[in-house]
Chains A and B, each alone.
Chain A
Amino acid sequence: MDDLTMLRDLGRGLDRTLEHEPPAGLARQRRRLLDEAAGGRRRRLTPFTGGRRAGWIALAAVAVVTAALVVVPTVLLRGTTGAHTVAPPAGDRPPKKGEALTVLLLGSDRRPTSARVGDLGERSDLMVLLRLSADRKRATAVSLPRDSMVRIPQCRSADGRTVAAHEDMINQAYAIGGLTCAWKTVESTTGMRVDHAVAVRYDGLEKLVDALGGVEVTLPQAVNDPKAKLKLPAGRSVLDGRTAVAYARLRFALGDGSDIARVKRNQALIQALLKKVSRLDDPAALAALVRVAATSLTADAGLDLDTMLALVGDVQRAGTRVTFTMVPWRPYAKDPNRVEWRQPDAARLFDRLAAL
Chain B
Amino acid sequence: MVSLMIPLATPRLDSDLIAESRARPEAFAALFDRYASMLYRYVSRRLGPEVAEDLVGETFLVAFRRRDRYDLARPDARPWLFGIVSKLVSRHHRDEAARYRALTRSPFDDVAESPAERVEDGVSATAVRPLLAAALARLSKGDRDVLLLIAWADLSYDEVAQSLGIPVGTVRSRLNRARRKVRESLGHTNPLRDEE
Contacts and interface: CB of A to CB of B under 8 A. Distances in A.
A3 B183 contact: yes
Interface in B34-55: 36-37, 40-41, 44-45, 49, 53-54
B159 A255 contact: yes
B159 A256 contact: yes
Interface in A141-199: none
A93 to B, nearest CB: 24
Interface in B7-41: 8-11, 13, 16, 19-23, 25-26, 28-29, 32-33, 36-37, 40-41
B113 A37 contact: no
Interface residues of B, number: 77
A11 B151 contact: yes
Contact of B1 (A61, A140, A345): A61
B57 A4 contact: no
B8 A255 contact: no
Contacts of B182: 3, 7
B54 to A, nearest CB: 7
A9 B23 contact: no
A230 interface: no
B179 A3 contact: yes
B75 A345 contact: no
Given A38-B25, A328-B10, A26 B37 contact: yes
B109 A23 contact: no
B121 to A, nearest CB: 6
B75 A260 contact: yes
Contacts of B75: 256, 260-261
A14 B106 CA distance: 12
Contact of B36 (A17, A26, A40, A323): A26
Interface string B68-92: 1001111110010000000000000
Contacts of A8: 151-152
Contacts of B71: 221
Contacts of A57: 3
B19 to A, nearest CB: 5
B4 A321 contact: yes
Given A7-B152, A255-B162, A33 B60 contact: yes
A261 B108 contact: no
Contacts of B74: 254-256, 261
Contacts of A349: 8-10
Interface in A211-263: 220-221, 252, 254-257, 260-261
Contact of A22 (B10, B26, B37, B79): B37
A23 B40 contact: yes
A261 B19 contact: no
Contact of A321 (B2, B121, B150, B183): B2
28 contacts: A4-B150, A7-B151, A14-B103, A15-B44, A16-B109, A16-B113, A17-B108, A17-B109, A18-B41, A23-B40, A25-B53, A26-B40, A38-B26, A41-B26, A46-B68, A48-B72, A49-B20, A52-B16, A140-B6, A221-B71, A255-B79, A255-B159, A256-B159, A261-B75, A318-B2, A336-B156, A349-B9, A349-B10
